[in-house]
Structure 1
Amino acid sequence: MYQNNSIFKFWKYVLCSYCFSIITNGLLYSELTDIHLQTIYISLFQTGWFLESMWSQILILQMLRTSKIPFIQSNASKPVLITTIIGIILFTGLTFTPFATNLGLTQLPALYFIYLFVIVILYMLLISFAKYSYIAKYKKLI
């Protein structure tokens, strides 16, 4: 599982770099010479990484709480579902507040949220694969 997670993080990094290079006219961070653009790129990347990490960590609770497929074969209890929804809303909303700049975060472009949705779905599929592999080997979920 750890190796799969590391490979996933590598591809997440590559895709995130590509996503933000669109904002900098196709240039990656290493190609930027303007310090202002470098600062913007860094802030976008940190915010994007933060938000994706928070969504992934919140949703992994849904993935690991049952041996079934969450949201399709198994619904969480109301408190777990409410916590999931509120967590995603709060962490996403934080990036749109003035307080975000105190944390080094910034507003993300709309294009990023397409990337975020895709990457989180892929992560959930990876976790599902690992979960079903574990269940196949040990005949139970932890």
Structure 2
Amino acid sequence: MSENDEDRIPRVWAGRFNRCWLLAMFVQHTLLAREGITVPSPQEMMRMNPGISIAEAINLQRQEYGAEVDWEKQTIIVRYKSRRYDITELIIEIVNECTYGDIIDELSVDTKGFDFTSAVGRAQKNIISKIVDGKLPHKK
């Protein structure tokens, strides 16, 4: 990606990017499910990795089964059938369209001020189905 391309990527306030992360995790888990991969629960992760705490199990689960999120560059990559897809712009667009609350709502770690149900529907239509159908270009 050239410097000019980076300038064109829409940026969002960090609080709103939390919502992008949340929606991206849904997208990644859905794609994994389409491949027949079951995401282990934190408790299962702890059984597979004796000695780790619940927080470490959650982090390990996110690392191994979650979307690749770069918080500083605000980029989001998901994987499907060994291919990687940059869905940053699509996710940000959906989150922006489905956010109706004020900045205070965006500080919380919940969906207050955010129509998550509509966001999921749009992600299914505009991201997941296009990846599964081969209509969204993958990263080389």
> Which of the pair has the greater relative contact order for Cα pairs under 8 Å at 6+ separation?
1
Higher strand share: 2
| Same fold at TM > 0.5 | no
* Higher normalized helix content (fraction of residues): 1
Instruction: Give the number of the structure whose alpha-carbon radius of gyration is greater.
Output: 1
- TM-score between the two structures when normalised by the length of structure 1: 0.32
TM score, norm. by length of structure 2: 0.32
